[in-house]
Chains A and B, each alone.
Chain A
Amino acid sequence: AQTVTQSQPEMSVQEAETVTLSCTYDTSESDYYLFWYKQPPSRQMILVIRQEAYKQQNATENRFSVNFQKAAKSFSLKISDSQLGDAAMYFCAYRSARNYGGSQGNLIFGKGTKLSVKP
């Protein structure tokens, strides 16, 4: 079974600074996706960034980028120029690329990292 581990329960960053959130995962599959989701106090999960395992290039979305190390099964999120609105719970998630009778795989989440941004 696949597992996702986030070893940092809480992180803090100064506004405009850079912070990196860590995530490791375990799987025997070769084809999968990795995601970072943001969950603000409103509780709605918002997709921040996604990475396809078959792509070597690290994904980037504006101020958000990832460091994907497939052999090490590591997937960290870097937030540059942190803003007050970045404060939230961040979840790392894994999804298999298998076809489940016409439907795609479910998400497996880590326990999350609470990010605080100091003004």
Chain B
Amino acid sequence: DAGVTQSPTHLIKTRGQQVTLRCSPKSGHDTVSWYQQALGQGPQFIFQYYEEEERQRGNFPDRFSGHQFPNYSSELNVNALLLGDSALYLCASSLGWQGRAGNTIYFGEGSWLTVV
């Protein structure tokens, strides 16, 4: 059973460019969330997709956008890259709301983005 997979693993971009990161959720999962983790910090929530709609969004500018496809995979797009966007981008998957018991969130290994 494949877990959460992300691509690419590492990439280097220049300021002002645009980047797309991809995520395939764990088999059977329908919800994908994206987190940004700067060096030495905890992950910060960017947004969450469920049923192809953005359901929640963290405190990130509109330069950060996403999409979820019918097969539940997801993309994170960042436009007009800034040096401060350099970070590890983590994708997490889970099932939709399962009542009070909740369910486990699984993480991928992340995509390292360096902006120069």
Q: Could you tell me which A residues sit within 8 Å of B by CB distance?
A: 4, 31, 33, 42-47, 50, 52, 54, 91, 93, 95, 97, 99-112
* Residues of the A chain whose Cβ atoms lie less than 8 Å from the Cβ of B105: 47, 95, 107
* Residues of the A chain whose Cβ atoms lie less than 8 Å from the Cβ of B41: 111-112
* Residues of the A chain whose Cβ atoms lie less than 8 Å from the Cβ of B55: 100-103
> Bound complex: CA of A45 vs CA of B43, how far in Å?
10
Given contacts A42-B109, A44-B107, A111-B42, contact A33 B33 (CB under 8 A): no
* Residues of the B chain whose Cβ atoms lie less than 8 Å from the Cβ of A47: 104-106
Classify the secondary structure of B's interface with A: loop
- Which residues between 17 and 52 of chain B lie within 8 Å of chain A, taking CB atoms? 31, 33, 35, 40-45, 48, 50-51
**B99-115 interface bits toward A, Cβ cutoff 8 Å, 1 = contact, 0 = none:** 01111111111100000
> Bound complex: CA of A109 vs CA of B92, how far in Å?
14
Distance to closest chain B CB from A68 (angstroms): 15
Residues B42 and A91 in contact, CB atoms below 8 Å apart: yes
User: Whose C-beta in chain A lies nearest to the C-beta of B101?
Assistant: A52
* Residues of the B chain whose Cβ atoms lie less than 8 Å from the Cβ of A105: 56
Distance to closest chain B CB from A20 (angstroms): 19
Residues A102 and B96 in contact, CB atoms below 8 Å apart: yes
* Residues of the B chain whose Cβ atoms lie less than 8 Å from the Cβ of A93: 42
Distance to closest chain A CB from B30 (angstroms): 9
* Residues of the A chain whose Cβ atoms lie less than 8 Å from the Cβ of B96: 102-104
* Residues of the B chain whose Cβ atoms lie less than 8 Å from the Cβ of A42: 109
Distance to closest chain B CB from A109 (angstroms): 3
A-B contact list, 27 entries, CB within 8 Å: A43-B109, A44-B110, A47-B105, A50-B104, A93-B42, A95-B102, A100-B55, A100-B56, A100-B97, A101-B53, A101-B55, A102-B50, A102-B51, A102-B55, A102-B97, A103-B55, A103-B56, A103-B96, A103-B97, A104-B98, A106-B33, A106-B48, A107-B45, A108-B45, A109-B43, A111-B40, A111-B42
* Residues of the B chain whose Cβ atoms lie less than 8 Å from the Cβ of A108: 45
> Bound complex: CA of A100 vs CA of B102, how far in Å?
12
